[in-house]
């Protein structure tokens, strides 16, 4: 018998497979692809206390002695910054590191809760359980092994640190202000709905002023990963998109840079 996450992944893949004129297989023409990641460059945002930022050093760029063009670079970056994945290990000893997260949990149905209106009125809006229940009343119960993506609209401020983080004081994370999940809502999604991951278009699964990170801890204890600094969530429907969230596979990593996309049937 399949375990629930594996069964969900099998059903997901089956739903994407179409029969074309030249035989079975995934038909890219039937899908719209939405890029959910910010590019990494010298302006990429990191937590104010991060010891460094993203750097890209050119090693080679030009025509070789053999007459062909060749380019190569070297990059360096902390695990947590830009569009990235938080592994459960980030906030729970003994839980999954980046490389140990089953890949079928990284390809999953996306459930998008839109709180952009609330966040515009209350910059530190925290998703409530009441708001989650209202979403389910309209769109149905959030399925097991799906990934909930919280659309706050904050990606419009990227990469302005003062607007996006609420404060741009170097080395000081005590003045940050931005919306995200509330602990009660997160606990319900993780413990009652059994989601595979939580994602948001802000810098943290917890609201900016949080100093004890309850949402991170609630998710990590259940081996649920987090996706932070996502982009373009406003382009996704509440239900029906498929998330593909593939981080750099860092062995033992507590997090990793992420390229995330959503697949939507046209």
Summarised one tens digit per residue, pLDDT across range 245-262 is 999 999 999 999 999 999
* Alpha-carbon distances, residue 38 vs 132, 159, 165, 197 (angstroms): 27, 9, 15, 19
To which residue do tokens 């999604």 refer? 189
Query: What are the structural domains of the chain?
Result: 32-48+77-265 (3.50.30.50)
Confidence check: pLDDT of 122 > 90: yes
* Alpha-carbon distances, residue 166 vs 43, 88, 170, 198, 262 (angstroms): 16, 26, 12, 22, 28
> Distance between CA 55 and CA 82 in Å, rounded?
12
* Percent helix, percent strand, percent coil in the chain, to nearest 5: 25, 30, 45
Active site (annotated) includes residue 139 = no
Confidence check: pLDDT of 15 > 80: no
Helix boundaries (H) for the chain: 4-16, 116-121, 129-139, 161-165, 183-187, 214-221
Three-class SS of residue 37?
coil
**Confidence band of 24 (pLDDT split at 50, 70, 90):** low
Closest CA to 158 of 32, 40, 35: 40
Mean pLDDT of the chain: 92
Summarised one tens digit per residue, pLDDT across range 163-187 is 999 999 999 999 999 999 999 999 9
Give residue 29's pLDDT: 86
Catalytic residue among 90, 139, 151, 216: 90
Summarised one tens digit per residue, pLDDT across range 72-121 is 999 999 999 999 999 999 999 999 999 999 999 999 999 999 999 999 99
């Amino acid at each position: 018998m399949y375990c629930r996450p594996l069964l969900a992944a099998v059903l997901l893949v089956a739903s994407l497979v179409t029969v074309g004129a030249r035989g079975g297989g995934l038909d890219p023409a039937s899908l719209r692809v939405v890029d959910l990641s910010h590019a990494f460059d010298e302006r990429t945002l990191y937590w104010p206390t991060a010891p460094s930022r993203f750097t890209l050093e050119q090693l080679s760029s030009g025509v070789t002695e053999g007459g062909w063009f060749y380019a190569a670079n070297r990059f360096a970056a902390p695990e947590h910054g830009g569009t990235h994945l938080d592994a459960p290990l980030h906030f729970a000893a003994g839980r999954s590191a980046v490389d140990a997260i089953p890949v079928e949990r990284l390809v999953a149905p996306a459930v998008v809760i839109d709180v952009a209106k609330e966040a515009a009125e209350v910059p530190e809006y925290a998703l409530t359980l009441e708001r989650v229940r209202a979403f389910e009343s309209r769109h149905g119960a959030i399925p097991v092994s799906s990934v909930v993506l919280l659309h706050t609209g904050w990606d419009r401020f990227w990469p302005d640190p003062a607007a996006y983080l609420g404060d741009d004081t170097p080395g000081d994370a005590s003045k940050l202000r931005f919306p995200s999940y509330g602990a009660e809502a997160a606990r319900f999604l993780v413990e009652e709905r059994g989601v595979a991951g939580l994602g948001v278009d802000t810098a943290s699964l917890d609201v900016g002023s949080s100093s004890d990170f309850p949402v991170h801890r609630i998710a990590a204890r259940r081996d649920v990963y987090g996706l932070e600094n996502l982009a373009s969530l406003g382009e996704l429907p509440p239900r029906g998109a498929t998330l593909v969230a593939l981080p750099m596979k860092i062995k033992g990593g507590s997090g990793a840079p992420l390229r995330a996309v959503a697949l939507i049937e046209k």
